[in-house]
Structure 1
Amino acid sequence: MKLTCGIIYFTEGQRRSLEMSQESKKLRSKGEKTICLPIVDESFYMEIVEDTVKFRAYIDEILPEYREIFPEEIEKGYSFFGSNFSKKQNLKIRRIQLKANYQIYQLRPAFMMPYMVGKTADFDKPLYLRRFGVPFDALTYVFGKNDMYWYRAFLALGRFSVVGTTVKEVEEMPEHLARLMQIRKKA
């Protein structure tokens, strides 16, 4: 890169890098999404996450049964799009890119909480106590960490929209939400 009279000149490599960066921003602006895979066994996940052939076989195996957690465009194919690594959880998270619309989805296992704040098993009892208004400092006293950790973890649960929630059994839904779904279907 050279600066002459207020004009910036890029080398060919810098120009290509900038174009790729702008292209990835366009992809990201469409919204990077997360698919929560029904994997509750951490050892199984660790076994397949390193091997893309095994990971693809797993996705293809669960696709017919859990069709509703995947976008419709996955039928036209997908490819692996690298991975992210959570330093906090010491866990590799795979990503896929759909061939139909180039959208990128993160594949998070079900044993991890949203936003990788922790493992779901570690949140069972603290979240149960929160239902009864137990303060965050009490959770810290009993379960460790700190008050802000529990506060942020509690807030992370509220970031997802009910609109994007998958419902397999309407009978198991809270009554007021089931009624709301019936009203929306009629409209």
Structure 2
Amino acid sequence: MKTKPRKNHTICLPFEKNRYDGLIKAPKTFREYVDGQWVTHPELFPEGMGLGYTMKDIRRSKKLGIAIRRITVSGTDYSIRLSFAMPYMGGFAADAEKGLYLRKYGVPFHALAHTCGRIT
């Protein structure tokens, strides 16, 4: 039996780290922020966003311990990922910045781990 690849159900939005906790705890303010981002950057959102969405729930990332809000668009659930967190909540972008910069110039992974450390 062949399985279908799972589609990405994550929307990455720009958040300021110091404002995020306040936004996530206030559903009305969070909705206003998402609506503003949709108007400014519609390419970041799935088709059907213009038809509306519902706030689903809040989950806590096991890796980073931060709250992640989910929304439902056209019957599909999407996690709102923070721009200051790496994909799959593998760490914070600021922690990986120097390693990613060095990787751009072909520095081998073992040298990156030695120089920048390892996110576990």
- TM-score class normalised by the smaller sequence: 0.7 to 0.9
Alignment match, 1:83:
58
SS state at 1:88 partner: coil
Q: Do the aligned partners of 1:48 and 1:55 also contact (CA within 8 Å) in 2?
A: yes
Q: Give the deviation of 1:32 after TM superposition.
A: 5.5
Alignment match of 2:13 (pick from 24, 33, 37): 37
Give the structure with the larger helix fraction: 1
Amino acid at match of 2:86: M
SS at match of 1:124: helix
Cα distance between partner residues in 2 of 1:111 and 1:142: 22
CA distance 1:126–1:50, shift in 2 (3 Å): same
Q: 1:53 to 1:83 in 2, by over 3 A?
A: same
Matched pairs, number: 116
Give the structure 2 partner of residue 102 of structure 1.
75
Match of 1:111 among 66, 81, 84: 84
Query: Contact conserved, 1:32 with 1:103, CA < 8 A, in 2?
Result: no
Structure with higher Rg: it is: 1
What are the ranges of 5 or more consecutive residues in structure 2 without an aligned counterpart?
Answer: none
CA RMSD of aligned residues (A): 2.0
* 1:139 is the counterpart of 2:98: no
TM-score with structure 2 setting the length: 0.84
Displaced runs of 4 or more, over 6 A: none
Gaps in structure 1 of 5+ consecutive residues: 1-28, 150-187
**TM-score, normalised relative to structure 1:** 0.56
